[in-house]
Structures are given as structure tokens and as C-alpha cells.
Structure 1
């Protein structure tokens, strides 16, 4: 079982996070995924509170990506201070889950249209997103050749389908259809994102059969669980296994 959560924005939703932890069947969880914005507005010390909340419940592996509120100027400090977490920054890792060889690729993600703040404060944001997209494509292409199950983690949404409930006028500033194209092109089996606090569509399947999960805590109100064997493999996505 895979567990995933995004948008704790500690301390804002830390009580909801603790409640979600208490109701999660941890005995069946093989890996926990942090999908970004686990702390609020650059308050990186809050990662200690987030990790402390798990004590006594979960002692296994944690893989994390960064969100837009883990500000880039603090990125290296976060990674070095909180090494309980395996951080993925436009890169991937191989592991075995439920007896399958799994590749997990992680990224902040990209937006089809940078936000007003980004356009104003990050002059090269468009080229950054283009470069990141190319990097993610290269990593996905490489991992697809080596693993049985390919998983993509992105803080920003990877499809507009899970943005239902958010204002349609800002969908392009919350996610990217270009990421959806990569998922389909490279046979990603499972994609997990956050960022969409008001989403009413928490799970969907793309034309390729890929399962997309929105793990944003304010939307889901719990830690998202994915049964790899039942929801990915047995759906026929991995028919060659």
C-alpha cells in the first residue's frame, strides 16, 4: 500500500494531519509520500512538527518532493536538515513495492501559465518550466525502460481533470496538460499530485489508463491510500507482468 499526502501547510492543517494519521492503517503501508507544501510559506522548521506527528504510527520510508511554499531559497537547507525524507528534485528512485520493481520520479511540477507573482518576480520562469519539462521527460523515458511500475509525483496538478472545484480561470496556473501528455506518452502507471485544495475530483484515469490521485489534505481530509496491486496492476495497466 502507498500512502500520500500534500498541503499540510503546517501549522495551518497540522491538527487535520494528526487526525488523518490516527485513522490510517499503517501496518499495510510500504512507503509514505510527501507531495509538497507540507509547511506553510517557507516555515521550514515546521517539518519537525510534521515528522513528530508520525512518531508512534509510522517508522518506514518517506519519499518527498517540494511544493511552491517550500521556497526555493530554502530548498538545500530543507534537504540537508530533514534527511529522514528521501527528496526527489526532478529525479527518480528505484525500489520494490508489493514485489514489483517500481520507479518513482518526483518534481515540483510545472504550470501551463505561470502565476502573476511568478511572472513578476521570476523573469525566467517560462524557460525554467520548459527546462524542467525536458528534464522530467528524460527521467521518465529512462525509468520506463527499467521498471515494471512507473510513478510520477508532482506538487502541481498533472491534469485539469482533478481541478474540478477550483476556479476554471486559474486552472492553467495550477497544473499542466503538458505533464498529462508525458504521463500518456511514457506509460506512467500512477501519478500523484497536490495543490488543488478545493478539488471535487480526487481520482481519475487518463486515456492511457494511468491513475491520477489528488492527495491534497484540505480536499481529501485524510491520507490518500493506493493499493498498487488492486488499483494499478489488476486494472490491466501492467498487462505484461
Structure 2
């Protein structure tokens, strides 16, 4: 079982996070995924509160990506201080889950249209997103050749399908259909994102059969669980195994 959570925005939703932890069947969880914005507005010290909340419940592996509120200027400090978490920054890791060889690729993600703040404060944001997209494509292509199950983690949404409930006028500033195209092209089996606090569509499937999960805590109100064998392998391209 895979557990995933995004958008704790500690301390804002830390009580909801603690409640979600108490109701999660941790004995069946093989890995916990942090999908970004675990702390609020650059308050990186809050990662200690987030990790402390797990004590006594979960002592296994944690893999994390960064969101837009883990500000880039603090990125290296976050990674060095909170090494309980294996951080993925436009890169991937191989591991065995449920007896399958699994590749997990992680990224902040990209937007089809940068936000007003980004356009105003990050002059090269468009080229940054183009570069990140190319990097993620290269990593996915490489991992697809080596693993049985390919998982993509992105803080920003990877499809507009899970943005239902958010204002349609800002969908392009919350996610990217270009990421959806990569998922389909490279046979990603499972994609998990956050960022969509008001989403009413928490799970969907793409044309390729890939399962997409929105793990945003304010939307889900719990830690998202994915049964790799039942929901991904049997329903996806590995159904013959």
C-alpha cells in the first residue's frame, strides 16, 4: 500500500493531518509520499512538527517533493535539515513495492500558464518550465525501460480532470496538460499530485489507463491510500502479471 499526502501547510492544517494519521492503517503502508506544500509559506521549521506527528504511527520510508510554498531559496536547507525524507527534485528512485520493481519520479511540476506572481517576480519562469518538462521527460523515458511500475509525483496537477471544483479560469495556473501528455506517452502507471484544495474529483483515469490521484489534504480530508496491486497493476498495462 502507498500512502500520500499534500498541502498540510503546517501549521494551518496540522490538526487535520494528525486526525488523518490516527485513522490510517499504517501496518499495510510500504511507503509514505509527501507531495509538496507540507509547510505554509516558507516556514520550513514546521517540517519538524509534520514529522513529529508521525511518531508512534509510522517509522518507514518517506519520499518527498517540494511544492510552491517550500520556497526555492530554502530548498537546499530543507533537503539537508530534514534528511528523514528522501527528496526528489526532477529525478527518480528505484525501489521494490509489493514485490514489483517500481520507479518513482518526483518534481514540483509545471503550469501551462505561470501565475501572475510568477510572471512578475520570476522573469525566466516560462523557460524554467520548459526546461523542467524536458528533464522530466528524459527521466521518465529512462525509468520506463528499467521498471515494472512507473509512478510520477508532482505538486502541481498533472491533468485538468482533477481540477473540477476549482475555478475553471485558473486551471492553467494550477496544472499542466503537457504533463498529462508525458504520462500517456511514457506509460506512467500512477500519478499523484496536490495543490487542488477544492477539487471534487479526487481520482481519475487517463486515456492510457493511468490512475491519477489528488492527495491534497484539504480536499481529501484523509491520507490518500493506493493499493498498488489492485488499483494500478491489475488495471494497468501490467494486468498480465
TM-score band, normalised by shorter chain: over 0.9
Q: Distance in 1 between matches of 2:235 and 2:144?
A: 19
What residue is the counterpart of 2:213 in the other structure?
213
**CA-CA distance at 1:88 after TM superposition:** 0.0
1:16 pairs with 2:21: no
Report the 3-state secondary structure (helix = DSSP H, G, I; strand = E; otherwise coil) of the residue aligned with 1:135.
helix
Q: Give the deviation of 1:57 after TM superposition.
A: 0.0
| Distance (whole Å) between structure 1 residues aligned to residue 233 and residue 133 of structure 2 | 27
**1:80 and 1:198 mapped to 2: Cα distance?**
32
Ranges in structure 2 where 5+ consecutive residues have no aligned partner: none
Distance between the aligned counterparts of 1:236 and 1:26, measured in 2? 25
Which digits, 9 at most, give the CA deviation of each residue in 1:12-39, with x for residues without a partner? 0000000000000000000000000000
The two structures, once aligned, show a CA RMSD in angstroms of: 0.5
Q: Structure 1 residues 236, 137: closer, same or farther in 2, change over 3 A? A: closer
TM-score by length of 2: 0.99
Once the two structures are superposed, residues 99-121 of structure 1 have per-residue CA deviations (whole angstroms, 9 ceiling, x without a partner) of 00000000000000000000000
Structure 1 position 237, deviation (Å): 2.6
Contact 2:67 2:155 in 1 (8 A): yes
Q: Quote the Cα distance in structure 2 between the aligned partners of 1:157 and 1:90.
A: 15
How many Å separate the matches in 1 of 2:39 and 2:235?
35
How far residue 234 of structure 1 moved from its aligned partner, in angstroms, is 1.2
Contact 2:210 2:236 in 1 (8 A): no
2:141 aligned residue: 141
* 1:201 alignment partner in structure 2: 201
Question: Which runs of 5 or more residues in structure 1 are unaligned?
Answer: none
- 1:238 deviation in Å? 1.2
1:189 paired residue number = 189
- Tell me if structure 1 keeps the 8 A contact 2:4–2:33: yes
Whole-angstrom CA distance in 2 between matches of 1:108 and 1:240: 33
Deviations 1:143-170 (CA, angstroms, capped at 9, x unpaired): 0000000000000000000000000000
TM-score where L is the length of structure 1: 0.99
Runs of 4 or more, structure 1, over 3 Å off, are none
CA deviations 1:34-83 (Å, max 9, x no partner) are 00000000000000000000000000000000000000000000000000
CA distance in 2, matches of 1:230, 1:188: 16
User: Is the contact made by 2:2 and 2:31 (CA closer than 8 Å) also made in structure 1?
Assistant: yes
